[in-house]
Structures are given as structure tokens and as C-alpha cells.
Structure 1
Amino acid sequence: MIPAFVLLASASPRRHDILNQLGVVHGVLRVPAPVGEDEPRLPGEAPADYVRRTARDKARQALAWLAADGRPDDIPLDWPQDWAQAPILCADTTVILDDDVLGKPADALQAAAMLRRLSGRTHHVHTAVVLAAHGHLLETCQISEVRFQPLDDADIEQYCATGEPFGKAGSYAIQGRAAAFVTHLSGSHSGVMGLPAHDTMHLLQQASALPSRR
């Protein structure tokens, strides 16, 4: 079993779509200025520790925002009356290459620079998922390995012109046109998109077994 209703604390349409695909009934919390958005790594912090910490930060901020009377954008009539007590789902995704965090590009120049680094090479995508449920924080981290074909300047220029790299960790969307760049993927396709389906369902199942503390 999984919770009957979940609050997704993310504006990502991809995470929303994945939950819909899984049949998870959910509402969307758009928490202002998420703490974990491209937060700098701490000195000596491992990539997996970094992405887990930023996901936890997002969950804690979502809990605090909800406790301070934060509300979803719209509350449909068929939402449960106790929707504010539902588990809160947060996630953070980052691309790691040469132990560097490749976050979301600020502009086309930065996007092109990231894509040149990824060209013809293997990188890792870390997606941490945190579920705040009944006074507990449940978490997991999915690490996927992705290899790109060599990209020339024309490939990169054309891709950046689509606007797809913006708002994406590592400057690409595997569910979009960048799928054509991928020669190898080991791990979770949905995890690279931003929410690993299997891991997320496992956390939701764990939450259903927890005693209520919230």
C-alpha cells in the first residue's frame, strides 16, 4: 500500500508527470525560493551527500512553509479534507562530472560549456528523494550512469536554441531532444528525469507502515 494522497513540493512538471504515470494521487506545493536549489557544496562533501542534503533542506523548508499556512496554488474540491497532513515528497537532481556539480545553467553560454564537457564522456546523475511523513524523513538516492556521444559545436548550438537546457541540471533533458545524445544509460531513466519511479514507490510504501506522529 501507499498513502492515499501525497504533496509534491516541486514545480517540476517532469516529477508531476512521473507521479501521474505511477497513479499516485497528489497535490503540488510550490514552496518559494527552495533552499536546495543549486546550493553550493560544502568543502569535502561527496556528491551523494550533497544531493541528499539539498533534498532534505527542501523537505524541511516545505514542512516549515506548510506549518506557516502555506498552501498549494489550487485545491480541487475532490482533495481530502486533511490534505495538509499528507506526506510531503521532495527531490533534488544533479549531474556529476569529474567530481564537479553541473547544476542548472544561468544562460546559453553556460549551457554550451556544460554540454561540451559532457560530450563523448560518461557522467553520473544523482537524484535524492526525501519523503516527510508522520514526523519522519525517509530518503533514498539513485545514481545513474549516462554516456553522451561526441557533440560538435553545431549540435550544441542547435540544442541550446531549443531552450531545452534551461532549468535542467547538466543542461539537458533526457526525456526531450537530448535523448538522441545518450549512447548508454545504466540506472534509472526516471531518476535522470528527476524522480526515480521504483525508489519513490518504495518510500511511499515505507511511509504507509509508519505510526502517525505529525
Structure 2
Amino acid sequence: MAEQRPPLVLASASPRRLDLLARIGVVPDAVSPTDIDETPRKGEAPRRLAARLAAAKAGAAEAPPGALVLAADTVVGLGRRVLPKADTETEARRCLEMLSGRRHHVATGVALRLPNGRVRHRLVLTALAFQRLTAAQIDDYVAGGEWRGKAGGYAIQGRAECFVRFLSGSHSNVVGLPLFETAQLLRGAGWLVP
């Protein structure tokens, strides 16, 4: 007899997050993206922004009674500076120029809204360093377009992985969802991860 579990709603339209969840055998029962203002507050550090946005998304998502709502937000930080989710070639180029030869952090806030309305949180940090990038490497990467909509103007699961000379922490966190912490949150709420 199959184990009863609450329905799971993913508060994200990110195909990367769906793919990551599938890698650990988790398939949400529904997807309910939210439309919240993701503008950083004045002086807000990257990790605080990631945690705040994940909690806001978990709270704003529509879900049936008794469901769990999983939300996440990934922020790339260079010191206390929040790098944008690049929408233009100019933004992507600027991000890559700033990250070239430097160490940065990726912070992902993960929030799980329980059926009773309470929210459990995790914040995961990964440290990375890029090699020093040449103008030709940046031009070539920007021309490829995989940076569109990505925090910090790059996708580690794509061609940008060859820029990474150092990584300490969760690789899946940099992609957009730290799988270990997500599985722990789900298990703690009674959602059995295979």
C-alpha cells in the first residue's frame, strides 16, 4: 500500500528546479509560480535577500488545503553587492566582468510552507571563484545566450562551468536548489523522498 503524503506545490516556474527535484525522485503535484517584487531593499545583503524572497514566494503561492509549498530564490553576491538576474547582454557582460578572476558567493533560500501555514527555512551558501576571463571568452559566452534570466549572468550547469576554478559547497545550490537541504525539509514535513 502506498504511503500517504501531502500534495507538494512548487512555487517556481524554473525548469532547472523541476529538473533538480526529479534527480532526487521528487515530482511536485502542481506548479504555482508567484509574481513578487524581487528588488533588494536598501543595504540588503545577498543572503538576507535570498531568504526573504524564498519565504515571500512560499507565502504567496496558491495551493490546495493540506499541501506543502516549496519555494526557493537564488542570489549571486559579490561581497555585499547583489548581482542581477541578467536580462540584457549588457547586464550579462557587466556581471562576467565583475566576476572575472574573483571569488563570489551563491546564496539560495529554501522555504517550505506547511499545511498549518508555518514556514520552515534553510539558507545555503556556496563559494566560487572564476578564472580571469578574457574579453573573447566573455563575448563568446554572452553570444551563446544561456545567461538569460540567470542570477549573476551565468549558468553553471552550462558552458560557464569551465570558468569555475574553485567551488566550495553545494553544486546544486548554484544551479538553483540545494538538494540535500531540500530533501531534509521535505522529509521533516512527512514528504518521503525516495
Q: Give the TM-score taking structure 1 as reference length.
A: 0.82
Shift, 1:5, TM fit: 4.0
Shift, 1:43, TM fit: 2.7
Shift, 1:41, TM fit: 2.1
Task: List 4+ stretches of structure 1 deviating above 3 A.
Answer: 1-5
Which residue in the other structure is 1:111 paired with? 92
Structure 1 residue matching 2:72: 3-state secondary structure: strand
Shift, 1:148, TM fit: 0.3
Query: Of the candidates 81, 105, 108, which is equivalent to residue 124 of structure 1?
Result: 105
- Measured in 2, the distance between the counterparts of 1:203 and 1:30 equals 19
Query: Of the candidates 78, 85, 91, which is equivalent to residue 97 of structure 1?
Result: 78
Structure 1 residue matching 2:29: 3-state secondary structure: strand
Structure 2 residue matching 1:166: 3-state secondary structure: coil
Query: Of the candidates 163, 166, 176, which is equivalent to residue 184 of structure 1?
Result: 166
Which residue in the other structure is 1:159 paired with? 141
Shift, 1:4, TM fit: 5.8
Structure 1 residue 195 corresponds to structure 2 residue 177: yes
Shift, 1:3, TM fit: 4.4
Do the aligned partners of 1:164 and 1:173 also contact (CA within 8 Å) in 2? yes
Deviations 1:56-110 (A, max 9, x none): 1111110xx34xxxxxxxxxxxxxxxx6532111000010003110121120011
Residue correspondences, number: 188
Shift, 1:121, TM fit: 0.6
- Measured in 2, the distance between the counterparts of 1:40 and 1:160 equals 24
Long gaps (5+) in structure 2: none
Structure 1 residue matching 2:101: 3-state secondary structure: coil
Which residue in the other structure is 1:53 paired with? 52
Percent identical pairs in the alignment equals: 44
Do the aligned partners of 2:9 and 2:32 also contact (CA within 8 Å) in 1? no
Question: Aligned in 2, Cα 1:28/1:164: closer, same or farther, shift over 3 Å?
Answer: farther
- Measured in 2, the distance between the counterparts of 1:123 and 1:3 equals 39
Shift, 1:205, TM fit: 1.3
Structure 2 residue matching 1:26: 3-state secondary structure: coil
- Measured in 1, the distance between the counterparts of 2:55 and 2:188 equals 17
Deviations 1:22-67 (A, max 9, x none): 01131342435x215xx222233332221111111111110xx34x
Which residue in the other structure is 1:169 paired with? 151
Which residue in the other structure is 1:76 paired with? none
Question: Aligned in 2, Cα 1:137/1:112: closer, same or farther, shift over 3 Å?
Answer: same
Question: Aligned in 2, Cα 1:183/1:3: closer, same or farther, shift over 3 Å?
Answer: farther
Q: Which amino acid aligns with 2:36?
A: V
Cα RMSD (Å): 1.9
Q: Give the TM-score taking structure 2 as reference length.
A: 0.90
